[in-house]
Amino acid sequence: MDDLQENNIRTEEQKVKRLPLTSDYVFKRIFAREENNSMLKDFLESILNIHINKVEVKNPELTPNMADEKLGILDLKLDIDNERVVDVEMQVSNEHNIKERSSTYLSKLAAEQLKAKQNYKELKKIITINILKYNYLERNAYHSIARMKYEDTNPIEFVDMGYKKEEEEATNTFEMHFIELPKFKQKNPDCNTKLEQWLWLIDGSEEEKVKMSAKENEEINKTLKELNKLSKDPEEVAKYEEREWSIMRYDVEMKTNRELGEKEGEIRGLKIGEKRGRIEGEKNGRENEKKNVIKNLHKLNIPIEKIAKAVELKEEEVKAFLNEKK
């Protein structure tokens, strides 16, 4: 990219507040469009570290999928070279369940394939890519990949049998990617790799890094222009704001429900405690009353058998109480 192009980009940026690519609406609005397919390919190549010939977006519509959650999901379902099925999701709010959600998506994508083919051997590789605007995993790496591995139940025996001691893939059918933007920003890498360049654009907080990435990578430069164009469209800005308000309301509602649930739990616990206390107190009161009756009847030399009947206890229990008093 020459200096004139760079100056044009700078001029555009001064005119408009750029919409964030961390918005699921903005992300899908740009990458789901057929004319932006080359940008999507380059972005996916940077994460998956593979060469891609063709990417097909299976759900280009911008209507949230309401099947799984009240808020709805704006994700990208993709087919790569008819060999891989990929789900890309942008996550802004930490709901503390992204690993479980990602695992569920893997299962759903596998089930969808089986419905069509009914043949396990024909399953395409299934990948989920989760871009997180928060830290989630207890790892230092900002890009983590989860695959199914064998676990050695007896490492020594495993080696003796001729197998490698290191972990081996149980299957390469399933793969989960987690990209944590705060960890990326904290490491503050240069723009040397395609992944670093794309993540600086998506993060959007370091303008110099964004410009450097656009200068180094033409697909990022095209994406930046498309993002600036989108940001100047009042209708698109309104849709973005509407989506953000929906997410905000959902987050507040979820937080309120959690707090109410915790409060109700505390109240329920107190009530249960009070009830148990009353029951325990009544029980102790009845026991003390019986003990007083036993003591008084015994002073009157009433036989143990009759005392037991009077207080509805076994003779052994009456004797045990009287022996305690000696």
Indicate the domain borders of the chain.
3-232, 278-325
Taking the model in full, what pTM does it have? 0.69
Q: For the residues 118-132, what does the mean pLDDT come to?
A: 86
pLDDT score for 298: 67
- Residue pLDDT, tens place only, 167-206: 677 778 899 999 999 999 999 999 999 999 999 999 999 9
pLDDT score for 186: 94
Per residue, the 3-state secondary structure of the chain, as one string, reads CCHHHHHHHHHHHHHCCCCCCCCHHHHHHHHCCHHHHHHHHHHHHHHHCCCCCCEEECCCCCCCECCCCCCCECCEEEEECCCEEEEEEEECCCCCCHHHHHHHHHHHHHHHHHHHHCCHHHCCEEEEEEEECCCCCCCCCCEEEEEEECCCCCHHHHHHCCCCCCCCEEEEEEEEEEEEHHHHHHHCCCCCCHHHHHHHHHHCCCHHHHHHHHHHCHHHHHHHHHHHHHHCCHHHHHHHHHHHHHHHHHHHHHHHHHHHHHHHHHHHHHHHHHHHHHHHHHHHHHHHHHHHHHHHHHHCCCCHHHHHHHHCCCHHHHHHHHHHHC
pLDDT score for 159: 46
204 vs 116, more confident: 204
> How confident is residue 110, by pLDDT bands cut at 50, 70 and 90?
confident
Give every CB contact of residue 150 below 8 A, 6+ residues apart in sequence: 167, 168, 169, 170
Residue with tokens 């503390």: 96
Comparing CA positions, the residue from 66, 101, 181 lying closest to residue 133 is 181
322 vs 50, more confident: 50
pLDDT score for 102: 83
Contact call for residues 201 and 218 (beta carbons, < 8 A): no
324 vs 81, more confident: 81
191 vs 15, more confident: 191
Least confident of 34-48, 87-101, 174-188, 267-281: 267-281
